[in-house]
Structure 1
Amino acid sequence: MRATDASKGSAAGRERRTGRVLLVVLAFAAAPAVAAELGEIVVTAQRREQALQDVPVSISAYSAEQLELRSATSLADLAAFTPNFSFVSHDAGMNFRIRGVGHADSSLFFDPGVGIYVDGIYLPRMRGVDLDLLAIERIEVLRGPQGTLFGKNTIGGAISIITARPGDEFTGSAEVTTGSYSRLDGRLSLSGPLQPGRLAAQAGIVARSRDGYGRRLDPLTGAKTGAMGNQDSFSARGSLLWTPHDDLELLLAVDGSSAHEQGGVHHLVQAFLTPAIGALNALTNPDYGSAWLTSDEYTSYATGPNYSSADAWGIALSVRWERDGWALRSMTGYRDQRTRYGWDNDGSPITVVEQTFWEDSRQFSQEIQFSGVALADRLAWVAGAYYADEDAAMAADTLIVQPLYTAIGMDRSLQLEVWNDSTSTAVFGQGTYALSDRLSLTAGARYSRDEKEVARLRRSVNTGAITVPYLGAGDAWSAVSGRAGFEFRWSDDLMTYLSAARGYKSGGINGGSTTVSDFQPFDPEYLWTYELGLRSDWLQRRLRVNASLFRSDYQDLQFRSQRTDQNNAPLVIVANVAEAEVQGFEIELSAVLAPGFELSAGAGHIDAEYTRVDPGSPITTAMSFMDTPEWSYTFAGQYTRTLAGGATVTTRLDYAWTDEQQRAVINTPLLVQEAYPTVNARLAFRSAGDRWELAVFGTNLTDERVMTQAWDLSSLAFMDAQFGPPRQWGASFRINF
């Protein structure tokens, strides 16, 4: 069942949780002096290597080892344990938000508000793909607008994934994992020199298989007729590092992934009696209605299509040439993604709404960066230019109240075809100047131009006849992003910063329209964020406290209004209809209480409200942001004990609490995810010399049923939702060589 009322975020409960966080801080301060200390974390959030504690950006960074200790295999696994970061994966793609800003739709009509980058290369489309964390060095979650250095579609922030580079020593590992629902994963990775000092290679593959935890039910008997929500995926990645000279390196990387799975459960939340359903029920037996509701979120009486298939591959070439005082870097990338999926939305054996989709996307991108130091090393600077071209296409087949229209001799089968070509160019620069040994000034700007051309038509699925003729349109937008701020270093272990940053999310064209009047462009979104931050180490670097306080002014919000056209077919119209204010904070603590004993804690708060809404828009100023919990808390404890002979045993517990949140843009009580905890645990035995490791782990130990996505199609007679995985157990065995 869903989280109970006891887990809701009352004011008293929030005070108690805040008090617990403060008690943790006091416990850190009271710990006796020991030799152990927190290690330095190196990040590239400002497109150059820096220690995390020197970066004036709100950032959470995770190394490969930290990901393993959390049993994280995808980006979605990190969301619950990262303050003010929301990330959910479902059949239609992924929704992710940072500080309440992101996107609610993965279709071609929208661009995301949080950018995802792999080794600096932007991934434009993520529908149907949740990156498998293969050959990862670290992941950086950057909060707030990152438009200056990362570009468009980063008004909420950016997720930067840095992969492992080939090494100068031969290393490798093989791992097998088994677990709940007949889970069986296999992973193999190799890295080493081909020509010592000049040429090295790295390769890795991972295959994952798991039975579905959802069940399709027989409409007559209620018996299980099939499974839903399984996993069947394969990923591979290889890279080649060539260093022809000490000041020149070329890194070529190729990756690919494939997933062919049953779709997740579309659980029927509510059914409504509309005029069309009334007419349908007069013709069919059984009727469509509340009889098809189930009490188990992992069950459905649906009999229509249910599949999710995604294939993607990419190639990237990075060239870096270093000279005295400056460096040149070129990043060239190409990505190709193909997605197919289908679902029975209405959760019944009656064809009220059934849909199938395909989507293809190809992007070429090129970025040139210059970076260096000047003015007696007081100025660190980076500048560059960017170009990207994306060609994308999609088709959506929809059957609506099919038995009714068949009976009266009407063809109500619909296929929407959309083509979307976009081109982006930009120039940018940023510098940090040390005004003194303690005070530094950072300033930067980026000029971007986006051009889009969209075409669409509609056909009959049954006959192929064109029902709405071909129509094309194009538009272009320009925007300036920027950042300015001061950093003051009070000591080697204490830094504060104050910054202002502006970002934007691209505009677009309403490709889902069926009339010329609706086939119109919508403008970009813009966001200013003002941030005060702290980076600090205490107690001989055994305690780390990082915090950020922010306020954002959000303009020209893009909203999708889902309604029906003149033929009662689903219609999506996007428009700029609102302004908003978002404010809040993040705080993250980590500490070493004794050698091998580590604790961490975090808290996030978001106060988001619409300040202006256009008349006639689907939202009101009284509504809440979707997928935006007001409060979130995290806590983790880890203890590593060294045994006789050098073997180690590591025990880890992760706990997170996430506040109540809306799952629909147009808020409705039926589509609210109540507050819930997330509890994971892991126990690992590692041999002396790290030759092998055996681990057991559990995820979602309290077995929460968390609504990850919801669809309000009440105009078509129902609401439905998908829910995240139940409690799962697993064990893994790895050999290192």
Structure 2
Amino acid sequence: MKTQQNKNSHQNKSRHWKIKAGVAAGLLAGAGHALAVEPVGDEPAEPATAAAERLPSDGSLPSVTVTATRRSASLQSVPLAVSVVSGEQLELSNRTSIDTVVQEIPSANFRQQGGNKDTTVFVRGIGTISTSPGVEPTVSTVVDGVVYARPGQATIDLLDIDRIEVLRGPQGTLFGKNASSGVLNIISRAPTDQFTGYVDAAAYTGHERRVRAGVSGALQPGVLRASINAVYADYDGNVTNVHAGGGKVNGYERRGVRGRLDITPNADTDIVLIADYLKAESSPTQTAYKQTSAPFAQALLPAVAGRENRQVNFDLENAVDDTSKGVSAQVNWRRNGYTLTSITAWRAWDNDQHTTTSAIGNSAEAARVTSAFPGTRDIGTLEFTQASQEFRIASPKIELSDLGAIDYVAGLYYLHGKDRETYQRIVTTAAVNSGRADYGIRSDSYAAFGEGTFHFSPTWRAIGGARWTRDELEYDHLRTSTQSSAFAGVQPGTQSAGSTDEKAWSGRLGLQHDFAPTATAYATWSRGYKGPAYNVFFNMLPRDTLALAPETSNSVELGFKGSAFARRLTLNAALFHTDYSNYQANFYDTVAGAVVTRLVNAGDVSTRGLELDVTARPTTQLTVTAAAAWTDAQVDNFNCPPAAAAASCNLNGKTLPFAPRFKGFLRAGYAVPLASGHDLNFSADYTYQSRTQYDLFQAADAIQPGYGIVNASVELAQVAQGWRIALVGKNLANKSYATNLISSTGYVHRVVPRDDSRYFGLTARKEF
């Protein structure tokens, strides 16, 4: 129960928030009248890549199409907060995976710890921290209409991407699965009508290379189009293993292929078949950031803990192998203005990892390994498959006599997932002991959904939608151990199994008004839902056998979108407040001297803030893009688990992890046409993130101070001949930072990002 002080604090914050909301609503309304110049409604729209490749010659900004409402629409017309990043721009910026994409999206952050299975995306300060296969992510990843049930599936490489749409806030109506905080909607490029091809390559200091190639075109004009793209990339890494026989670590090797076939048997039918295969081998490595004991410092030598430490002393380097593959078929059938859509998909994800959970490897050298600082080695395998089916209908605008008009999207959805994992931990002190767990999850999710827009005047629209979901979840778990009692990082043997099911409603209500042809504003209420969970992992204990209740969210959002000066300026703003109940979070206990996790319904949390996206093209040569997010994500009422061994549960009012109060992104591009017919393009961008706490339990050593990253590039291009070459500079100010800080007994680990120090690269592309 909250103390009276906490209650008063919460009431005061709510009162202040209501005042801020009222002021902001007034400002948005005023801005709506100020930006009244030209239409933003059903305007013709180009793919998002146009922003990077083909700026209109009249000096206006290109229109961007999004599918955030499950139908194609202009970004400036949809009543949702959406960020869009083009695939072409990501390639030029050497942002080829999800963890680097979030640098351009102030509302999003990325948590990385260990291999891909330990990754999490946060939107508006909310994300799920758990490696359990029995826990859904809070932010859903959708690729070409297919939901990826586990976030690690999408972290290998971004290949043949047209654009990434980040839908901010609960998306429980149309996207449903795993979308209580947001959606990463990834759209690949469609094959071209004319035969085209390309080869591009990039080389960066630090021995990083990337080569892509593809062909696209019509196999039968008007009926059959196809494309195939392949990628190979490798990187030695930016961390040095000083152990004998070591070398560079924290790198990767990736290779993959993606094929797409578009079939148009008649004017009313489109069929899209996609198959992909991506494989990655990596050596993710954390370095010692801080140490608090002399024995530990001695064990690290010759590596020395520090804020910019890029050295480790491992006898066995970390190795993670990922394979992601799948096929999908989308059929669109149009009749009398209606579009029926079917998306059938199957995917598989295999993950093998050999990692260390200590800072000193697994060596038996007496000078390094002691009972206080044991060496550990983890060996894990994961085999996951999913099958999904979605049926959807999108209506035309239906006139309702004098009442106005209505259009809607409705559908049915099913997803089946199956996960099998093994995990072994080898602990070396004076002797060698180990434990092994075999476990798995089966899940089934069923849903029916619909959302409609009622146009009751030319300038007013009402939005309403709902989704019914049924989740079925079951697990089994068996752990064996060489010891009958707990020892460092390993619990005694145990066996359990269980199942649960839940039904829930989510939905959205809203009102949208066009102040003028170029300015629209909206107010929406959304309810998000994340299904029940089991904390199934290596050190699962009998206390973890109870299912966690679903996590729900209620969100209010006020938004404005407008353009001005003959579409040379666009401005989008969103003000939001979201409350989460039964927040699913990891709780840390200390058992046998080692920290173990407990996934619990931690109570109530909330996030509130303001987001701005501005794009301006003051001249035909200069384009400026700016985005910013102010976010206040905090614990409102923490439920301390019974018999908790943690030192303190006093977290009310504390900041949620991976939720910087402010994050901003600024990019400027300047194009210079040369007399020779070439184009010289200059680009620079700056990302700033304020002080960020990486630990829910507010560890003082898990705070990343505020930092800014500067990048720049200069490109020479000849559009007519289809080639371009660019020099790219990353982190020009040479700012070292951490994307995660992990506190352990006696030391703190740092996750080292690729751009932890300054580096340069050369990219080239030839089209034919």
- Establish whether TM, by shorter chain, passes 0.5: yes
Query: Partner residue of 1:625?
Result: 656
The partner residue of 1:47 within 64, 70, 80 is 70
Q: Is the 8 A contact 2:205 2:759 kept in 1?
A: yes
Q: 1:271 to 1:183 in 2, by over 3 A?
A: same
Partner of 2:561: 535
- Corresponding residue for 2:688? 657
Question: C-alpha separation between the residues in 2 aligned to 1:172 and 1:340?
Answer: 35
Shift of 1:510: 2.4
The within-5 A match list for 1:499-648 is 499-512=524-537, 514-565=540-591, 571-616=596-641, 619=649, 620-648=651-679
- Counterpart in 2 of 1:294? 305
Residue 175 (structure 2) pairs with residue 150 (structure 1):
yes
Aligned to 1:4: none
The answer (yes or no) to whether the contact 2:569–2:614 under 8 Å persists in 1 is yes
| Contact map agreement 2:532 2:551 (CA 8 A) in 1 | yes
Q: Output one character per residue of 1:310-339: Cα deviation in whole Å (capped at 9) or x when no partner.
A: 111010100110011211100011110111
Letter in 1 for 2:752: F
Identity of aligned residues (%): 27
Q: 1:706 to 1:394 in 2, by over 3 A?
A: farther
**TM-score, normalised by the number of residues in structure 2:** 0.85
Distance 1:95 1:700, change over 3 A: farther
The alpha-carbon deviation at position 355 of structure 1 amounts to 1.9
1:625–1:68: structure 2 CA closer, same or farther, 3 Å change rule? same
Q: For residue 527 of structure 1, what is the amino acid of its counterpart?
A: S
Verify the 8 A CA contact 2:204 2:760 in the aligned structure 1. Answer: yes
Q: Residue 174 of structure 2 aligns to a residue in which SS? A: helix
Q: What is the 5 A alignment of 1:195-594?
A: 195-218=220-243, 225-267=246-288, 269-271=290-292, 293-295=304-306, 296-348=308-360, 349-350=368-369, 351-376=374-399, 378-400=405-427, 402-404=428-430, 406=431, 412-460=433-481, 468-512=493-537, 514-565=540-591, 571-594=596-619
Matched residue SS, 1:209: strand
In the TM superposition, what whole-angstrom CA distance separates every residue of 1:367-394 from its partner, at most 9, and x where no partner exists? 0001112432821211000000000122
For 2:53, the equivalent position in structure 1 comes to none
1:614-648 superposed Cα distances (whole Å, 9 cap, x missing partner): 23566411431111100112211101111124321
Number of equivalences:
683
The 1-side partners of 2:723 and 2:218 are apart by 23
Distance, in Å, in 1 between the alignment partners of 2:96 and 2:238 is: 18
Work out whether residues 168 and 200 of structure 1, in 8 Å CA contact, stay in contact via their aligned partners in 2.
yes
Q: Which runs of 5+ in 1 are unaligned?
A: 1-24, 274-280
Aligned position for 1:19: none
For 1:518, what is the secondary structure of its paired residue? Answer: helix
SS at match of 1:67: helix
Match of 2:115 in 1: 92
Shift of 1:224: 8.0
* Matches of 1:572 and 1:210, distance apart in 2: 33
3-state SS, counterpart of residue 542 of structure 2: coil
The range that moved more, 529-538 or 128-137, is 128-137
SS in structure 2 at match of 1:625? coil
Give the AA of the match of 1:446: R
Shift of 1:83: 2.0
1:462 to partner: Cα distance: 11
SS of residue in 1 equivalent to 2:89: helix
User: Post-superposition shift, 1:687?
Assistant: 1.0
Per-residue deviation, residues 493-529 of structure 1 (Å, max 9, x unmatched): 0000000001012221122355434321111111111
- Give the C-alpha shift of residue 67 in structure 1: 2.6
Q: Which amino acid aligns with 2:267?
A: D
Letter in 2 for 1:225: G
* Structure 2: distance between partners of 1:559 and 1:688: 51
CA distance in 1 between partners of 2:380 and 2:527 (Å): 35
Q: After TM superposition, list the pairs within 5 Å mapping 1:95-174 onto structure 2.
A: 95-127=120-152, 130-174=155-199
Separation in 2, partners of 1:519, 1:710: 29
Q: Rate the CA distance shift 1:536–1:128 in 2: closer, same or farther, 3 A.
A: closer
Where 2:588 maps in the other structure, the secondary structure is: strand
Once residues 92 and 562 of structure 2 are traced to their aligned partners in structure 1, the CA distance between those partners, rounded to angstroms, is: 25
What secondary structure does 1:148 align onto?
coil
- The residue number in structure 2 matching 1:733 is 764
**Partners of 1:453 and 1:549 in 2: CA distance:** 39
- Residues 544 and 591, structure 1, Cα contact 8 Å, conserved in 2: yes
Deviation at 1:227, TM superposition (A): 1.6
CA separation of 1:138 and 1:339: change in aligned 2, threshold 3 A = same
Asked whether the equivalents of residues 251 and 319 of structure 1 are also in contact (C-alpha less than 8 Å), the reply is yes
In 2, Cα distance between equivalents of 1:468 and 1:131: 34
Structure 2 Cα separation of the partners of residues 268 and 706 of structure 1: 11
Distance 1:196 1:690 in 2: 25
Q: Pick from 736, 745, 753: which aligns with 1:724? A: 753
Q: 1:138 to 1:297 in 2, by over 3 A?
A: same
Give the aligned partner of residue 703 of structure 1: 734
Q: Which amino acid aligns with 1:70?
A: S
Contact 2:408 2:452 in 1 (8 A): yes
Kindly provide the CA deviation profile for residues 80-135 of structure 1, in whole angstroms up to 9, marking residues without a partner as x: 22121112445332221110111223431422110010011011123375242211
In the aligned structure 2, how far is the partner of 1:524 from the partner of 1:292?
A: 45
Q: Normalised by the size of structure 1, how large is the TM-score?
A: 0.88
Q: Which amino acid aligns with 1:262?
A: S
Question: 1-side partners of 2:719 and 2:65: how far apart?
Answer: 28
Is the counterpart of residue 72 in structure 1 residue 95 in structure 2? yes
Kindly indicate whether residue 71 of structure 2 is the aligned counterpart of residue 60 of structure 1.
no
Displacement of 1:264 in angstroms is 2.2
Structure 2 letter corresponding to 1:630? R
| Aligned counterparts of 1:90 and 1:251: Cα–Cα separation in 2 | 36
678-687 or 43-52, which deviates more? 678-687
Which structure has more strand as a fraction of its residues? 1
Q: 1:523 to 1:270 in 2, by over 3 A?
A: farther
Aligned to 2:59: 36
Is the 8 Å Cα contact of residues 701 and 743 (structure 2) preserved in structure 1?
no
Q: CA RMSD in A?
A: 2.5
Ranges in structure 2 where 5+ consecutive residues have no aligned partner: 1-30, 36-56, 361-367, 485-489
Say if 2:706 is the partner of 1:675: yes
Change (3 A) 1:317 1:271: farther
| Cα distance in 2 between the residues matched to 1:585 and 1:199 | 46
* Structure 2 residue 106 is the aligned partner of structure 1 residue 83: yes
Is 450-459 or 569-578 further displaced after alignment? 569-578
Amino acid at match of 1:298: R
Q: Contact (CA 8 Å) 1:611, 1:621: kept in 2 or not?
A: yes
- The CA distance in 1 between the partners of 2:265 and 2:572, in whole Å, is 41
Shifted more, 64-73 versus 585-594: the winner is: 64-73
Whole-Å Cα distance in 2 between the matches of residues 318 and 679 of structure 1? 41
Are the aligned partners of 1:468 and 1:514 in contact in 2 as well (CA < 8 Å)? no
